[in-house]
Structure 1
Amino acid sequence: MSKHDKAQDKTNAMRMFDAAGLPHEVLFYDAEAAVSGAEVAAALGQDPDQVFKTLVTVGKSGEHYVFMVPVEGELNLKKAASAAGEKSIAMIKSRELLPLTGYIHGGCSPLGMKKVFPTFIDETAILFDTIMYSGGRRGCQICSSLSDLQKLVDVQTADITA
């Protein structure tokens, strides 16, 4: 379990793990020095295939979707649309992220968004005992099992990486 001295320092994602009593680790890094996902993985000494970035999209229907792909990979929009049952998918504009999710670019967690959106993670996540993803702010990552993440938000695995 992660230990936090100050409740006000916790993000929504951390609070969700704590409330559920699920094992996880919270890792911090210098957000100024590690900007890209690959730099975050390197700063934390992690395999970049095991570290996932959280991307928010909008489908042709107007519905929003969350996709998690390895930090060195790219979301394949055609595969993403197929996974979501949409004709097409597009990335949302950066300025739309905060009002939609409550998170800023570089600190968007799949947990604790203002609204729960259908969420998909690249199928390679099943290859690891633990995966890492944003803890809800820049400079913060959560490490947990995929199954524990799935206890907090309905995350489906799919082939979505380019």
Structure 2
Amino acid sequence: MAKQKLPKTNAVRLLDQHRVEYKLMEYDVQDNQIDGVTVAAKVGYPVTHVFKTLVTTAGTGKFFVFVIPVAGELNLKAGAKAVGEKKIEMLPVKDLLATTGYIRGGCSPVGMKKLFPTFIDESASNLDYMVVSAGKIGMQMKLSPNELIRVTKGRFSKLTD
């Protein structure tokens, strides 16, 4: 487990609980509208290893989490197929905090209010490590894709074109 003097978020606490090895890193945030490719550059990792967390819905009470490369775009048809729904759509940003406990730009796949079905782009399955949000804007965490699968009870799936 990493012992660093950075603030503990729900995501970090959960990783500690599950005894997951991770590395936390902070980056300077000029404004809250920073994109994932910029985050990758700020933390010094290739865009192929930095992932963003997206939340979708298939109607009332049906939420799904997708973790995809920051430079990629979620294919909603592939996502719907992965979750076994006819159609999914992005969760409106105004509903993100109430649903997940996280805000846009700081949404981690780990430590949401509930454990939603989680799907990680198959491109991560071949990586030694991946970088995802640590649960707050300006903070990322590096961990093994298989550990992320274990903690989120997720699975790898083809989610991008």
Deviation at 1:49, TM superposition (A): 1.1
Q: Residues 29-108 of structure 1 correspond to what in structure 2 (within 5 A)?
A: 29-32=27-30, 35-60=34-59, 62-108=61-107
1:114 aligns to 2:113 (yes or no): yes
Do 1:58 and 1:91's aligned partners in 2 also have CA atoms closer than 8 Å? yes
Q: d(CA) in 1 for partners of 2:98 and 2:110?
A: 15
Q: Look up the match of 2:3.
A: 3
Q: d(CA) in 1 for partners of 2:54 and 2:133?
A: 11
Question: What is the TM-score of this pair, normalised by structure 2?
Answer: 0.94
- SS of equivalent residue, structure 1 residue 135: strand
Q: Which runs of 5+ in 1 are unaligned?
A: none
- Cα RMSD over matched residues? 1.5
Do 2:124 and 2:130's aligned partners in 1 also have CA atoms closer than 8 Å? yes
Q: d(CA) in 1 for partners of 2:135 and 2:2?
A: 15
Q: Look up the match of 1:142.
A: 141
Question: What is the TM-score of this pair, normalised by structure 1?
Answer: 0.93
Deviation at 1:4, TM superposition (A): 3.2
**Which shows bigger deviation, 95-104 or 142-151?**
142-151
Do 1:61 and 1:86's aligned partners in 2 also have CA atoms closer than 8 Å? no
Q: d(CA) in 1 for partners of 2:156 and 2:5?
A: 34
**Which shows bigger deviation, 34-43 or 79-88?**
34-43
Q: Which runs of 5+ in 2 are unaligned?
A: none
Q: Look up the match of 1:17.
A: 15
